[in-house]
Amino acid sequence: MSGRSYDSLLKLPLFTGISPQDIEYIVGHTKLAFRQFVEGEAVLHSHEECRALVFLLSGTLQVATDPIDHGFTLYESLPATQVIEPERIFGLDQHYFRTYQALTSCSIMSISKRDVVNLSDNFDIFRTNLLNVICRNAQKQLENNWQRPAESLEERIAAFICHKCCYPAGAKRMKIKMSRLAIELNDNPRYVSHALHRLSDAGLVELGRQRIEIPNIQNLAGLL
């Protein structure tokens, strides 16, 4: 049995609660694929087919998300340990929604879809853990869609950014034109600009050319 494989599984939430004996069995009967990525290397691409359950074991990924028309892009940092878009391994659309690039040296582990099905069949705890993660993601999106209406333009800007994040902590960066942000908020570009500068004066954002830097998304989310 690979000590590396054993230690890696123990770190992952999907294997929480599984006995050491069962972990040993899983390591011996499941193909665990490991790969190292250097800084700047592409890991996964938006619209790439999701053929495996992918885990970030160490390092940090840059995550880029944009709408269908590529009118703006949200950049985030995703630290280990994470499972990447587990809801995409099954369902109607089995392609990744975001693009992932190594921000630092990263270690990635993947488990094929067939082995994920086998693990779900043979280990109730694994199946429950996987369902919990997928359900949590779905519930979070539903809750975002049904929050109370924002009372100010600053709150609307905060909601627009926060509700698009895949990881609720750390720094974020949005590349977007003022005209596009105004369209997204259904408001006048001049008023949007003034609200952004008020957020900047409060230390919640930093502004650049077609760029909004959020030093800590949790502080911005405090407006909601």
Write down the pLDDT at residue 2. 57
Q: Do 212 and 161 form a contact (C-beta atoms < 8 A)?
A: yes
Question: Which domains, from first to last, does the chain contain?
Answer: 3-145 (2.60.120.10), 153-221 (1.10.10.10)
Least confident of 58-72, 133-147, 155-169, 195-209: 133-147
**Residue 6's pLDDT band (cuts 50, 70, 90):** confident
Model-level pTM? 0.92
Average pLDDT over residues 14-19: 93
77's enclosing H/E stretch is strand 73-79
Give Cβ neighbours of residue 123 (< 8 Å, ≥ 6 apart). 18, 22, 26
